Structure 1
Amino acid sequence: MSVRILALVGSLRAGSHNRQLAEAAAKHAPAGADIQLFEGLADVPFYNEDIDVEGSVPAAAARLREAAGQADAFLLFSPEYNGTMPAVLKNAIDWLSRPYGAGAISGKPVAVVGTAFGQYGGVWAQDDVRKAAGIAGAAVLEDVKLSIPGSVTRFAETHPADDSEVATALTEVVGRLSEQVTPAAA
């Protein structure tokens, strides 16, 4: 049986290099790993306990939780916006952290990767994503990292899926993430 990995991309831009990175991860996933890119993060309203009421959770948030509930693990892709993670990714983590102690992300393995224009590839943002996911209850793989600098130039004419160094690194990340899933979950 395949390990089901839900990919959440912190950039909403159609031509996002992080989205392309997620596509590359799906394309180069090792055997036994199935990566699904979640579509619709832009539609999820900002987390608010007043609207997180059983029976009336906004449809987009309910879809996110349902997809996350079916996942064995998560692969989060984060660019860096003003030195930190994008709000859309933080918002997804907030929705997935509830109900407290029993959220869809609770106890599940999470790896965080990404690319950014700067010289460090979004390291600060990705560290913030790891921190937020861990506090939300995820089993964050702190030693599984991939931060690709210079995205605007590196991927100007080459899709990340066609960059052999990136493809190899993504395959390794997905493989290590998959190893963290308990056999009963997969």
Structure 2
Amino acid sequence: MTDLKILAISGSLRAKSHNTALLHAARKLGPAGLDIDVYDRLREIPPYDFDQDSPGARPTVVQELRDRITAADGLLIATPEFNYSVPGVLKNAIDWVSTDWSKSEGLPLQRKPTAILGAAPTNFGSVRAQLALRQVFVWTHTDVVVKPEVIVFRSHERFDEAGNLVDEGTVALLQDLLGALQRKITGTEALGRPMG
């Protein structure tokens, strides 16, 4: 059986981002059958421009992201929290991939199985950013995993100096989230263990 292709996107541009580190941890700790590819071109995506948002007119990096999302079986998005919401660079990328003004390409995010997680150094982690992101995905008709919620608070305490996830509770939640995403993609959600 072919592995499911997961495109993982971090909403942080920081070199030592805990959100990006979460995605790399997902690659190591995920269940068999998931091929997780961490996207690394978020910095290159220009501000959204309606006048360029059509086939043949979009910046190459934007079209590539749309194509990669379309080709993926699912998405894994890690968001930090800026000003109680989603970082602008992440929201900007979502804006670029949420449209089909020509009615000829399809909508990359529509019904795409997606799991959300996030880390922040505060006591509330990325809870508000994740809530804002879930609201965005209501509009795009994205099929978001509901539980478990992976909100990594006081994230600086969950990773070692090399950026490895070392907190056992967070590891368990991450593995549960990846399992839930896998089941959503394969249509076997009812087989997952109940979450308390």
Fold match, TM over 0.5? yes
Identity across matched positions, percent: 36
Name 1:44's counterpart in structure 2: 45
Show the 5 A alignment for 1:83-98: 83-98=84-99
Task: State whether structure 2 residue 160 is matched by structure 1 residue 177.
Answer: no
Q: Pick one of 126, 137, 144 that aligns with 2:141.
A: 137
Name 2:190's counterpart in structure 1: none
Name 2:57's counterpart in structure 1: 56
Q: Per the alignment, do residues 34 and 73 of structure 1 end up closer, same or farther by CA in structure 2, a change over 3 Å counting?
A: same
Larger Rg: 2
Name 2:172's counterpart in structure 1: 168
Task: State whether structure 2 residue 116 is matched by structure 1 residue 112.
Answer: yes
Offset, 1:166: 2.1
Which stretch of the first structure deviates more once superposed, 114-123 or 151-160? 151-160
Give the structure-1-normalised TM-score. Answer: 0.91
Task: State whether structure 2 residue 158 is matched by structure 1 residue 157.
Answer: no
Alignment partner of 2:51: what SS? coil
Alignment partner of 1:12: what SS? coil
Instruction: State the alpha-carbon separation in 1 of the partners of residues 113 and 177 from structure 2.
Output: 12
Deviations 1:64-92 (A, max 9, x none): 11111111111110111111110111112
Instruction: State the alpha-carbon separation in 1 of the partners of residues 170 and 49 from structure 2.
Output: 37
Name 1:9's counterpart in structure 2: 10
Name 1:80's counterpart in structure 2: 81
Alignment partner of 1:180: what SS? helix
Offset, 1:117: 1.0
Offset, 1:27: 0.9
Name 2:32's counterpart in structure 1: 31
Instruction: State the alpha-carbon separation in 1 of the partners of residues 186 and 173 from structure 2.
Output: 23
The letter of the residue matching 1:23 is H
CA RMSD of aligned residues (A): 1.7
Cα pair 1:25 1:161 within 8 Å, conserved: no
Cα pair 1:97 1:137 within 8 Å, conserved: no
Query: Where does structure 1 lack aligned partners over 5 or more consecutive residues?
Result: none
Instruction: State the alpha-carbon separation in 2 of the partners of residues 161 and 42 from structure 1.
Output: 24
Offset, 1:142: 2.5
Offset, 1:131: 1.1
Cα pair 2:148 2:176 within 8 Å, conserved: no
The letter of the residue matching 1:141 is V
Alignment partner of 1:161: what SS? coil
The letter of the residue matching 1:154 is R
